[in-house]
Structure 1
Amino acid sequence: MIAGLATLIEFVFAPPTIALAIGAYLNVQFPALDPKHAAVGAYIVFMGVVAPAFSFSNFALNGWAGSDVFGAPAIAGMFAAIPFAIWFFLAIEGAAMAAEEAKDPKRTIPKAYISGILTLVLLAMGVMFFAGGVGDWRTLSNINDPLPQAMKAVVGESSSWLHMLVWIGLFGLVASFHGIILGYSRQFFALARAGYLPASLAKLSRFQTPHRAIIAGGVIGIAAIYSDGLINLGGMTLTAAMITMAVFGAIVMYIMSMLSLFKLRKTEPNLERTFRAPCYPLLPFIALVLAVVCLVAMAWFNTLIGLIFLGFMAVGFVYFMLTAQLRADAPADAMLTGL
């Protein structure tokens, strides 16, 4: 229940954040367009165009939490940046939610994970270095469209390169947006099918899609989008708060996944597994420790968001306790029972 609800929070709050970024990209192309009304190829174009203007002195300027020398504030800044670092890779686990639609999930899902993570590592490092080295990185630190703004500083706002980046980047954001919508709809559907959420969310349309689950997450996302600018949580914009909220959900899910891995290896050593955990138990243990460190750091530097997250989890737990009959009446899940 904890892992399922945490994953749901992660996937529900990610799409409105991406939607706001899509709006910001459109706002660069059409300045009169309100962002509220409104990925690989874009990054490659971005890095190729701004690379000649890269300067390490710009990247390192005031690089220690606004200072040129290392000190205690820099350590605090590193931990405060954790949710935004994790955001680079957020929802990559959504690949597993397409397992029921995949023809050969034992082979294709691991390939999707590995190729996706390698791609993200390379592009995340490239974007971080090049965007931070073309000028004063502090001007990009609190906006939804840092890549177009960084390129604009190099080539000007009338450059065709800038407009190309905006449109390619927009397609990348839309692809990510749709992928996470698929993820949250499957999460709503799976929890409802297992009796953790109202059974109506597990209904399928005549096209065999969980349309009610898609709409439920969409309603929450639209409400969040139109709350941006009206709500300020802990001194951060609602966009930053939603990123942090989604990362809280992701980290709790990571911790529960690692704990489940250790427990199942102990209690069900002969269980057929469709995946391999490399370097078990060392790497899973390292992942567990890092996830706990990240969770503690995020709770320390984002106390208000952490309390709101706990509030969501508490509401979910109360609902869980009140709906035991739903789970008793739910059909057995063939994915779990092996039937």
Structure 2
Amino acid sequence: MSHASAHVTRELKPVLGALPLWGIAVGLVISGEYFGWSYGWASAGTLGFLIATAFVALMYTTFIFSFTELSTAIPHAGGPFAYARRAFGPTGGYIAGFATLVEFVFAPPAISLAIGAYLNVQFPALDPKLAAVAAYVVFITLNALGVGLAATFELVVTVLAVVELLVFAGVVAPGWSLAHFVANGWAGADTFSAATWAGIFAAIPFAIWFFLAIEGAAMAAEEAKDPRRTIPIAYVAGILTLVALAFLVMIMAGGVGDWRDLANINDPLPQAMKRVVGEGSFWMHMLVWIGLFGLIASFHGIILGYSRQIFALARAGYLPAYFAKVHPRFRTPIRALLAGGIIGIAAVFSDEWVTFGGQPLTANIVTMAVLGAIVMYIVSMAALFRLRQTEPQLHRPFQAPFYPVFPAIALAGGVVCLAAVVYFNPALSLLFLGLMAAGYVYFRRTEGQRHAAPHDEMLTGVPSSPR
């Protein structure tokens, strides 16, 4: 099958409006407000982590305003892969596609372990890893039943999760004090010093966890109604929602006692609330159960994201065509859903045969997902600059404000974050590089597979023939 004779058929159903897309954008991320971020306190302290989070929030805000230009101009299920492929050719597409896959395949196991930890609070005899596997089974099934159902479920649990974070802040407020928040605030040092910078940079992956995966809403672009209008609404509202919640949760949790007891656990919010209202409180049990919705929203949403990324890469010939098949009835990429699930479940149990740097398993999985995300952010911003030069006539329904300042800030922030993560996580960075090299060998050996794939004008910029 040649490029001249076949074009991509858009098999995904366009059913999503602005509100469901907001639910996906926020839902993809909101588990980051419930767990994962508190590991940053261990290296930076509450005050140092506040600085790291402010820096990362600036990077993400400028990134999303810039990334929206790409996602509306090229509404493709591959998201960053499609933008990099169009800007830099097949190799650029491979780098962005690999990085996005790492981000979206490694984030769910971390979230599933947190789901297990939250359930373990209620059921101490429950093995968190078995609960994590059960979560994969349930939510892969839900995703397989159709994007309309999946997006409706995502919107409901996201709204509940946002409300619960507001409830958490209100319930712990009577026990909050500035003295608790600032005590040992520079990771044990009395004052800010040059050495404090090391802790701040080491904490960057966990500040990124507050916002990681919001860009995944772009992968639902082929399933969005009028994506050039609905995606900007979802993204702008989404990033503003998440920035506000990140600072609210971090500040409130850090001021209800000795924050150091919350720095290396998967359920910091229930443990923080327990100090204020007691273990048997109605509020405590409500947080555990409704707090699960935050984890479920992200877990469910990222499963949607990784399946669309695998599907798009397979459709373009970057992965075996086997994974580009959709279910004949539900029009969902069932094989891609299962493939990501198998990798994720293997990661859940990975500490039983391999460890890195003495960090908790969840911290290592978070860092791995962050490495993929940062590489993708850098490539995406480079693609934006490149396409502004090579395709000035490309229809851009939404343009990055203050161009080139916003994308430049996002690009520079991404480079700083990547340098920090690599410096403080050399073993994981080598693993990431090794996986990328292995994938590149496959990429080089499958050129014929890409040549045989149906032509996709969104990847090349060449208009399709009328049909």
TM bin, normalised by shorter chain, reads over 0.9
Q: 1:54 aligns with which of 169, 176, 179?
A: 176
Specify the code of the residue in structure 2 equivalent to 1:46. Answer: F
CA distance in 1, matches of 2:354, 2:167: 35
Q: Distance in 2 between matches of 1:204 and 1:85?
A: 36
Task: Give the alignment partner of residue 379 of structure 2, picking from 252, 256, 263.
Answer: 256
Contact 1:54 1:133 survives alignment (8 Å): yes
Taking the aligned partners of 1:237 and 1:202, their CA distance within structure 2 comes to 35
Query: Partner letter of residue 238 of structure 1?
Result: L
Cα contact 1:64–1:73 (8 A) shared by 2: no
Q: Specify the alignment match of 1:210 in structure 2.
A: 333
User: Larger deviation: 173-182 or 72-81?
Assistant: 72-81
User: Where does residue 201 of structure 2 map in the other structure?
Assistant: 79
Could you list the structure 1 runs, at least 4 aligned residues long, displaced by more than 3 angstroms after superposition: 228-231, 334-339
Q: Answer whether contact 1:41 1:168 (CA < 8 A) is retained.
A: no
Unaligned runs of 5+ in 1: none
* Alignment match, 2:259: 137
CA distance in 2, matches of 1:274, 1:306: 37
Distance 1:82 1:13, change over 3 A: same
2:249 corresponds in structure 1 to 127
Deviations 1:210-245 (A, max 9, x none): 101000000011111123465431121121111111
| 2:187 pairs with one of 57, 65, 68 | 65
Q: 1:83-98 maps to which residues of 2 (within 5 A)?
A: 83-98=205-220
Could you tell me which amino acid in structure 2 is paired with residue 8 of structure 1? L
Cα separation, 2, equivalents of 1:142 and 1:105: 40
For 2:397 and 2:450, how far apart are their aligned partners in 1? 26
Q: CA deviation at 1:161?
A: 0.1
State how 1:281-296 maps to structure 2 within 5 Å: 281-296=404-419
- What's the secondary structure of 2:384's corresponding residue? helix
1:151-170 superposed matches below 5 A: 151-170=273-292
Partners of 1:231 and 1:69 in 2: how far apart? 38
Paired position in structure 2 for 1:277: 400
- State the partner residue of 1:183: 305
Are 2:237 and 1:115 aligned? yes
Structure 1 residues 226-267: Cα deviation after superposition (integer angstroms, max 9, x where no partner): 234654311211211111111111110010011111111111
Choose from 26, 29, 32 the match for 2:122. 29
- Is this contact kept in 2: 1:47–1:127, CA < 8 A? yes
Aligned Cα root-mean-square deviation (Å): 1.2
Deviates more, 1:129-138 or 1:23-32: 23-32
* Structure 2 letter corresponding to 1:220: I
Cα distance, 1:79–1:95 mapped onto 2, change above 3 Å:
same
State the one-letter code of the partner of 1:98.
A
1:191-202 aligned within 5 A: 191-202=313-324
Counterpart code for 2:340: G
Q: Contact between 1:23 and 1:34, CA under 8 Å: does it hold in 2?
A: yes
Q: What is the deviation of 1:33?
A: 1.6
Flag structure 2 segments of 5+ consecutive residues without an equivalent. 1-93, 132-160
Deviation string, structure 1 residues 245-295 (Cα, Å, up to 9, x no partner): 111111100100111111111111111124311110011111111110110
TM-score (norm 1): 0.97
- Point out which structure has higher relative CO (alpha carbons under 8 A, 6+ apart): 2
Matched-pair contact (CA < 8 Å) for 1:65–1:73: no
The DSSP-based 3-state class of the residue aligned with 2:201 is: helix
Q: Determine which of 350, 355, 367 is the counterpart of 1:232.
A: 355
- SS of the aligned residue for 1:71 comes to coil
- State whether structure 2 residue 112 is matched by structure 1 residue 19: yes
Secondary structure of 2:423's counterpart equals helix
Residue in structure 2 matching 1:106, options 203, 221, 228 = 228
Letter in 2 for 1:161: W
1:145-198 CA-to-partner distances (Å, cap 9, x unmatched) read 110011011111100001111111101211111100000000000001011111
Identity %: 69
Structure-2-length-normalised TM-score: 0.71
Q: How many angstroms apart in 1 are the aligned matches of 2:446 and 2:384?
A: 27
Give me the whole-angstrom Cα distance separating, in 2, the residues matched to 1:338 and 1:21: 45
User: Aligned letter for 2:124?
Assistant: P
* Contact 1:195–1:326 (Cα < 8 Å) also in 2: yes
